[in-house]
Amino acid sequence: MPILTPLIMALAAALVPGPAPAAAPPPTAEEIVEFVDNRVFSQTMSYRISMTSYRGGQAHRQYGMQVYKRGPMLRIDFQDPAVERGRRVLNDGRDLWMFLARTSRTIRLANRQSFMGTDASNQDLLRISLARDYQIDGAAQPRTVDGQALTLVRLRARDPATSYDRIDLYVDPASKVPRMQEFLTVSGRAVKRVRYDRVGDVGGAPFPARVTIENLLVRGGQTVLEYDRVDRAPDLTAAFFTLAALRR
């Protein structure tokens, strides 16, 4: 009967499962780097860092800092300990500068120098984006690290003067959230490892609340950065990221 055929067809369509929807393709290396640069660490944001440097399991140095980021510029204002209050560091997009409040002097910093005697280098804390300093070297690859399935993106420095010749970036394959970075020298030896933990949602995007920097050559040497008061839409002007503002 003509009315039955469409009814049976509709019933069949409801009861018989159709073909499975196509699985989302894994993210490409470019997508991963773009996500890390612009979503995890926004173009404009501010946050507070509590930095603790450990030697032989003992806390060696501790600093509290307020960080401001706007496009290619980044500024760090020291808040703790009291003796460091007034010290400021600036990446104005070209060079790194430090303002010393006690002497009112401004000095230029080298990228590879240790940041305040910790395992982090100046570039580690003041880097603006991975894509600016590094180019992708090959396709993203699956890797298992400590029993965890991750995706590896290999990056190579664009400029031979960049502190680390290569970075191996490990991200969660589903969320693209960074889990680990390893910094390799020209010879291919890994000398530093950064782990990202306690990733939570901040302003609609993931953000690690804790970052651990390990010195792979000197055991027991590590620096822990704990982030809080993250604001992805702070009101910051370009003038705030100038040497003049640094000295004020």
Q: Which of positions 32-91 make contact with other proteins (CB under 8 A)? A: none
Nearer to other proteins, 68 or 164 (CB): 164
Nearer to other proteins, 91 or 111 (CB): 111
Stretch that binds other proteins, among 90-98, 131-139, 182-190, 233-241 (CB under 8 A): 182-190
Residue type, 32: I
Residue 157 interacting with other proteins (CB under 8 A): yes
The residues, ordered by sequence, that sit 6+ positions from 242 with a Cβ below 8 Å of its Cβ are 90, 92
User: Residue 79 Cβ, how far from other proteins at the closest point, in Å?
Assistant: 30
Q: Which of positions 3-42 make contact with other proteins (CB under 8 A)? A: none
Nearer to other proteins, 151 or 223 (CB): 223
How far apart (Å, rounded) are the C-alpha atoms in residues 127 and 85? 22
How far apart (Å, rounded) are the C-alpha atoms in residues 227 and 210? 6
How far apart (Å, rounded) are the C-alpha atoms in residues 115 and 185? 19
Q: Is 224 helix (H, G, I), strand (E, B) or coil?
A: strand
Stretch that binds other proteins, among 2-10, 76-84, 85-93, 162-170 (CB under 8 A): 162-170
Residue 94 interacting with other proteins (CB under 8 A): no
* Contacts with other proteins, 198-227, as mask; x by CB under 8 A: -------------------xxxxx------
How far apart (Å, rounded) are the C-alpha atoms in residues 46 and 210? 15
User: Residue 168 Cβ, how far from other proteins at the closest point, in Å?
Assistant: 15
Sequence-ordered alpha helix ranges (H) in 112-236: 122-126, 130-133
Nearer to other proteins, 159 or 235 (CB): 159
Q: Is 160 helix (H, G, I), strand (E, B) or coil?
A: coil
Residue 112 interacting with other proteins (CB under 8 A): yes
User: Residue 18 Cβ, how far from other proteins at the closest point, in Å?
Assistant: 55
Rg for the chain, CA atoms, rounded: 23
User: Residue 87 Cβ, how far from other proteins at the closest point, in Å?
Assistant: 25
The residues, ordered by sequence, that sit 6+ positions from 179 with a Cβ below 8 Å of its Cβ are 145, 148, 150, 170, 171, 172, 195, 196
User: Residue 178 Cβ, how far from other proteins at the closest point, in Å?
Assistant: 21
Token pair listed for 59: 């806390």
* H or E element in which residue 246 lies: helix 243-247
Nearer to other proteins, 6 or 56 (CB): 56
Stretch that binds other proteins, among 16-24, 30-38, 63-71, 183-191 (CB under 8 A): 183-191
* H or E element in which residue 209 lies: strand 205-215
Give the residues lining the site for other proteins (CB under 8 A). 111-112, 157, 159-165, 185-187, 189, 191, 217-221
